[in-house]
């Protein structure tokens, strides 16, 4: 699989809206798309099969976090859906991440990419300290969780593009960084705080950028997507 790409976050609530949006992309190479909890829980696994059958690669963003046995069995189901990338919370422990990897691996040894969420960007350092009782600073915690993810044998982490260099430094250049928080230099930031442009994300070392509203809410989504690809892949 191409290990550098732009992933469109399809944050729509219905099948009809999602497929209408994807119908716009009459391109030779269909975009890699991210399906999140809202769409998956409202439409069920069939939405994954439908989008896959149209030729898209899929990052199924369900962020699993449960006991290892449950995660192993759930991952087996996701693997049979033939998604290309899925994820867990690193907070579930190394044992849970290893179980996820086992569940995901098919009989022929193939499997989707598996990445972990370190600390959600919505969790502030203050909340981490006061509510989660994690005493380290947030950057050390992110690097520590990324190192645990590497130890468990996963492929990489979701992180802010601004954290990608630190993660690569600790876990190696081959460890994937999947980074949301992408905005064009000439557009607004919406509710995202720590943002970078597609070109800057490439420079910092992101492997996959996840782009939502700059594409989904654009007047011309296909043109915006192609601009992202051009800036990020430099082609
Ligand atoms: O519209 P926007 O480009 O902000 O969408 C970014 C996507 O990446 C959304 O689906 C959001 O849930 C997801 N995401 C994020 N920050 C994280 C993890 C995921 O923005 N830390």
20-48 residue pLDDT tens: 999 999 999 999 999 999 999 999 999 99
Q: Identify the pLDDT of residue 212.
A: 96
* 3-state percent breakdown (helix, strand, coil) of the chain, nearest 5: 45, 15, 40
Q: Identify the pLDDT of residue 190.
A: 80
Give distance in angstroms: CA of 198 to centre of ligand 1. 14
pLDDT of 226 above 80: yes
Confidence of residue 1 (pLDDT cuts 50, 70, 90): low
CA-to-CA distance for 131 and 125, rounded, in angstroms?
10
Q: Which two tokens stand for residue 29?
A: 């190479």
Q: Identify the pLDDT of residue 187.
A: 83
Q: Residue length, the chain? A: 235
68 lines ligand 1 (CB under 6 A): no
Q: Identify the pLDDT of residue 161.
A: 87
Q: pLDDT digits over 148-202, tens only?
A: 999 999 999 999 888 999 999 999 999 999 999 999 998 887 877 778 999 999 9
6 lines ligand 1 (CB under 6 A): no
Which residues contact residue 7 at a Cβ distance below 8 angstroms, ignoring those fewer than 6 apart? 31, 32, 33, 34, 59, 178, 208, 209, 210, 211
Q: Identify the pLDDT of residue 124.
A: 87
Ligand 1, pocket-test mutation among 210, 211, 225, most atoms within 8 A of CB:
210
Q: Identify the pLDDT of residue 123.
A: 86
217 and 195 in contact (C-beta within 8 Å)? Answer: no
Q: What is the mean pLDDT of residues 89-101?
A: 98
Q: Identify the pLDDT of residue 122.
A: 83
56 lines ligand 1 (CB under 6 A): no
- Nearest protein Cα to ligand 1, atom 10: 9
158 and 178 in contact (C-beta within 8 Å)? Answer: yes
Catalytic residue among 30, 34, 52, 63: 63
212 lines ligand 1 (CB under 6 A): yes
pLDDT of 2 above 80: no
Q: Identify the pLDDT of residue 81.
A: 95
Q: Identify the pLDDT of residue 194.
A: 74
Residue 63 annotated among the catalytic residues of the structure: yes
Confidence of residue 235 (pLDDT cuts 50, 70, 90): low
Superfamily (CATH) of domain 5-233: Aldolase class I (3.20.20.70)
Q: Which two tokens stand for residue 68?
A: 């290892």
Q: pLDDT digits over 42-90, tens only?
A: 999 999 999 999 999 999 999 999 999 999 999 999 999 999 999 999 9
């Amino acid at each position: 699989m191409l290990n550098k790409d732009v992933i469109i976050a399809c944050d729509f609530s219905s099948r009809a809206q999602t497929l209408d949006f994807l119908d716009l992309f009459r391109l030779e190479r269909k975009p890699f798309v991210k399906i999140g909890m809202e769409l998956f829980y409202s439409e069920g696994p069939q939405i994954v099969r439908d989008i896959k059958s149209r030729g898209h690669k899929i990052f199924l963003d369900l962020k699993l976090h449960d006991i290892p046995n449950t995660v192993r069995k759930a991952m087996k189901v996701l693997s049979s859906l033939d998604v290309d990338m899925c994820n867990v919370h690193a907070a579930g422990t190394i044992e849970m991440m290893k179980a996820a990897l086992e569940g995901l691996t098919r009989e022929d040894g193939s499997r989707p990419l598996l990445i972990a969420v370190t600390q959600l960007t919505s969790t502030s350092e203050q909340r981490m300290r006061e509510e989660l009782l994690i005493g380290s600073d947030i950057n050390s915690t992110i690097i520590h969780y990324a190192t645990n993810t590497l130890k468990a044998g996963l492929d990489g982490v979701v992180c802010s593009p601004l954290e990608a260099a630190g993660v690569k430094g600790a876990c190696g250049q081959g460890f994937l960084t999947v980074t949301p928080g992408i905005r064009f230099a000439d557009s607004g930031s919406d509710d995202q705080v720590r943002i970078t442009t597609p070109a800057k994300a490439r420079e910092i070392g992101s492997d996959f950028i996840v782009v939502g509203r700059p594409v989904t809410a654009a007047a011309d989504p296909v043109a915006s997507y192609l601009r992202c690809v051009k800036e990020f892949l430099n082609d």
